[in-house]
Structure 1
């Protein structure tokens, strides 16, 4: 694995049945990327997941750590239709 997961992110992956390959693809080849407004160490990335109804997976991670540390991950309903 080329990233680490916070306890919260691990819980979200299990509960929401998020495929780690989707998470990795989102992290490494996002459709959208944006810096966090409040925390300069965090980056928000989104990627459309065709296998999950074309919904956007959102991954928030700390880009200052090696490997990147995933803070949270979820399917973001607010991005639907914006891309």
Structure 2
């Protein structure tokens, strides 16, 4: 049986995944869900958000419209893929 908070968070993840939001907006949505559905975890969520903000997480990320440098990372299957190879397949 799934814990109600876990089910609520899964629903929140599905909701933000299907919406056109920035990563920050998605994280805020999920964090707000935790604060509402699991108030006992609110302090932990707030501490985590504060750490991300203090570290300026994402501050050096490319802006919308910037050209991305080529990179290589593992796929969900564990194979290495490059940005270039993905772009060759289309958007």
Quick one: higher RCO (CA 8 Å, sep 6+), 1 or 2? Answer: 1
User: When the two structures are superposed, what TM-score results if normalisation uses the length of structure 1?
Assistant: 0.25
Structure with the greater alpha carbon radius of gyration: 2
| Greater helix fraction, Structure 1 or Structure 2 | 2
